[in-house]
Structure 1
Amino acid sequence: MKILKYLFFLILILVIGISIYIAIQPSSYRVSRTQVVKAHSPVVYNYVQDLKNWKNWIPWLEKDPDMAIKYGETTTGIGASYSWIGEKMNGKLETTAATPFTNLDQELTYEKRPPSEVSWTFEPEENATKVTWEISGDLDFMSKAYILYKGNMEQNIGPELERGLKKLDSVILEDIKKYSIEIDGITEHSGGFYLYTTTSSKISDSRKKIPERIRVIEKYITAHNITNVGTPFTYYHSRDEENNAMIFSNGVLTSARIITDPESDILTGQIAPFRALKLTLTGDTKNLKEAWDSAFAYLAERQIAQDSTGPYLEFYLSDASKTLNPAKWVTEIYVPVSELNIPPIVE
């Protein structure tokens, strides 16, 4: 009996000692990780703040693929939320504060445990964003006991944050690379008056030159209070593959003929109505060569002749001046075609 008594007291002392040890452990934690994501901060921010995108990169979902996710009334901005029922634990995440393109604050709740604070910071770098993901909170006695058994919060959460940020970088890169090319068919372009400036350059330099020349046009329009102008476009005049040279104009259609300053290199022209194959590229302008090749292949396959005297045009409905996400850029291409032996015009 004495042995059992001593054993009981020994266990009791051990339990009290462990309880005291658990109780004196830190009552709060803060874990953060940083990753440079190769995309502009508005693109990264918009992707992260939409909670429907989280299923594409959160590391915890890989461990519990059958996790049931339920979204709140909104998934973006303040008040956005989603909850989940998992194999081991249920929880909820809600956005409590949002400063566009720079910060997000969220509250993370796991069943009856004290809520954790989640914060995101997005610091712009050259063509990239430094993203910091941080989780902090208070620990109750049971949480401290769990940590004693499973390791501290840094050891448990840190690697998951690292994996999540690396996956976030890869999925955003894939997302901004998405593009589509759609053949819209044969159509009539009404033409019209336009303001333009003409440039000659190497073919390899043309994609850099085009935004510069469009900005020159837009600056002129603003300075002269010109209204009712159309979408910026490029008019390709000639292309010499052998000598890596091309001549093109950049301009905007206007509602009427505008007399420009004699000293200015901005001129007024007129495009006559013409029949063309229209094609739409949604995505990065890096894919424009493929888009043009698709247009030429379409015409060749259907034996539709190009009209080399007509204008070869690119209209930039949405570009980097409107959104930094290349996947959302929209470019329309018009290839002039002969009126002989061609299908009916698309209505």
Structure 2
Amino acid sequence: MKFFKYLLLLSLTLLVIGLLYVSIQSGNYEVSRTKLMKYPVYSVFNIVNDLKTWEKWGPWHDEDSTIMVTYADKTVGVGASNRWTSKDGSGSIKTVSIIENKRIVQEIRFGDNEPSDVLWDFEKIAEGTKVTWTMKDDKAPFIFKVFSTLSGGWENMLGPMLDKGLNNLDEVVKSQPLKYSLGEVKIIENQDKIFLGFPYKMKIDYAEIQKVFADAMPKVIDYAIQSGLKYAEFTPGALYHKWDQIKGETEFHIGILIEKNIKPREDMEIIKVTGGKNVMITKCGNYNEGDYEAHMAIDTYLKVNNLISKWPIYELYVNDPTQVKQEDIQTDIYYPLQ
């Protein structure tokens, strides 16, 4: 009988020692894994940015078939979120900020615990895209410290999961067809042009900008037709006066480049686009696919040739996306030169 008492006492002592040991372990961790993927940065970024794709590559789905995911109305960009339940508990994830094709910042919450940070960094390199996935916290809950201790540390606990997720992501990106093509970057001479459109000042939020385009463009085109213009006498486009990625602010007009002047509606403006030399590129593919790469191609051309551009830069949407194949939707991008 004494033996069992001593055994129980020993077990309790070891348990207390174990709990004390865990309690003094740091709840501060930052674990990262990086993988080179031989695909354009937009291909990788767009998949990670869409939470509905995570079921295809998230490493936890391979480990737990009981996971059930519920999506919010928004699943792409800032504010996108979902929740899940499984035999091991519940959780949620939310996207809190993005820098297009460069960084995604998210918060992930397990149960009722405080959220941890999830960071994604995308770097365009000659071979493709360098992707870094990071999980970090400075106040991890006690139960997480228990798992970390049993695993031999935060790196051993989280690192293999991040590696597996990046490998799965690489396979998903590989299965996606390239959705755009870029023409040659070149210098052309333009005449003075007239632009009619709605002015906007807003935060850089790609989902919101898309909504603005979807609302404004049909209104401008309808007004042009009602004002007597034929389709051949105008080209839809956007005129950008500011794009400050650091402050997250942009100013632009959505409208049409017109061959002859018409009186604008009260909420529209007429802008004269001064002629001269422009660096331009043609991108073929769906809107928002390859736009970053097209602008970066011009940026590289400007640097290599010691050229300086000036505002406004503009895009023209040359053909009707409902009348051509997705890969043939044409966008011409112009950077006026100083």
TM-score range, shorter chain: 0.5 to 0.7
Please give the alpha-carbon distance, in whole angstroms, between the structure 2 residues aligned to 1:331 and 1:140.
51
SS in structure 2 of the partner of residue 160 of structure 1: helix
Partner of 2:106: 106
Deviation at 1:317, TM superposition (A): 8.1
TM-score (norm 2): 0.55
- The answer to whether residue 172 in structure 2 is matched with residue 171 in structure 1 is yes
Partner of 1:275: none
Does the 8 Å CA contact 1:36/1:129 hold for their aligned counterparts? yes
Does the 8 Å CA contact 2:286/2:329 hold for their aligned counterparts? no
Q: Pick from 284, 287, 294 the counterpart of residue 318 of structure 1.
A: 284
Does the 8 Å CA contact 1:317/1:329 hold for their aligned counterparts? no
Partner of 2:192: 225
Count of residue pairs the alignment pairs up: 217
Could you say which structure has the larger radius of gyration?
Answer: 1
Deviation at 1:321, TM superposition (A): 10
* Gap regions ≥5 residues in structure 1: 180-206, 232-253, 257-315, 333-347
Partner of 2:92: 92
- The answer to whether residue 48 in structure 2 is matched with residue 82 in structure 1 is no
Instruction: From the superposition, tell whether residues 6 and 100 of structure 1 become closer, same or farther in structure 2 (CA, over 3 Å).
Output: same
Please give the alpha-carbon distance, in whole angstroms, between the structure 1 residues aligned to 2:179 and 2:121.
26
Partner of 2:273: none
SS in structure 1 of the partner of residue 176 of structure 2: helix
Please give the alpha-carbon distance, in whole angstroms, between the structure 2 residues aligned to 1:329 and 1:26.
52
Please give the alpha-carbon distance, in whole angstroms, between the structure 1 residues aligned to 2:288 and 2:18.
61
**Which segment drifts farther, 149-158 or 53-62?**
149-158
Please give the alpha-carbon distance, in whole angstroms, between the structure 1 residues aligned to 2:65 and 2:14.
40
Please give the alpha-carbon distance, in whole angstroms, between the structure 1 residues aligned to 2:193 and 2:288.
20
Instruction: From the superposition, tell whether residues 60 and 5 of structure 1 become closer, same or farther in structure 2 (CA, over 3 Å).
Output: closer
Does the 8 Å CA contact 1:51/1:82 hold for their aligned counterparts? yes
Please give the alpha-carbon distance, in whole angstroms, between the structure 1 residues aligned to 2:179 and 2:170.
15
SS in structure 1 of the partner of residue 97 of structure 2: strand
Amino acid at match of 1:119: L
Please give the alpha-carbon distance, in whole angstroms, between the structure 1 residues aligned to 2:127 and 2:10.
63
Please give the alpha-carbon distance, in whole angstroms, between the structure 2 residues aligned to 1:110 and 1:168.
22
TM-score (norm 1): 0.53
Deviation at 1:135, TM superposition (A): 0.5
* Gap regions ≥5 residues in structure 2: 195-232, 237-257, 261-281, 294-324, 331-338
Amino acid at match of 1:160: M
Please give the alpha-carbon distance, in whole angstroms, between the structure 1 residues aligned to 2:128 and 2:165.
17
SS in structure 2 of the partner of residue 169 of structure 1: helix
Deviation at 1:139, TM superposition (A): 2.4
Amino acid at match of 1:135: M
1:306-345 alignment, distance < 5 Å: 318-319=284-285, 323-324=289-290, 329-330=327-328
Partner of 1:145: 146
Tell me the alpha carbon deviations over residues 7-51 of structure 1, each in whole angstroms, 9 at most, x when there is no partner: 444334322222221112122221110112222223322221111
Please give the alpha-carbon distance, in whole angstroms, between the structure 1 residues aligned to 2:288 and 2:17.
64
Deviation at 1:93, TM superposition (A): 0.6
Partner of 1:135: 135
Please give the alpha-carbon distance, in whole angstroms, between the structure 2 residues aligned to 1:10 and 1:65.
39
Does the 8 Å CA contact 1:323/1:329 hold for their aligned counterparts? no
Please give the alpha-carbon distance, in whole angstroms, between the structure 1 residues aligned to 2:326 and 2:124.
20
Does the 8 Å CA contact 1:40/1:127 hold for their aligned counterparts? no
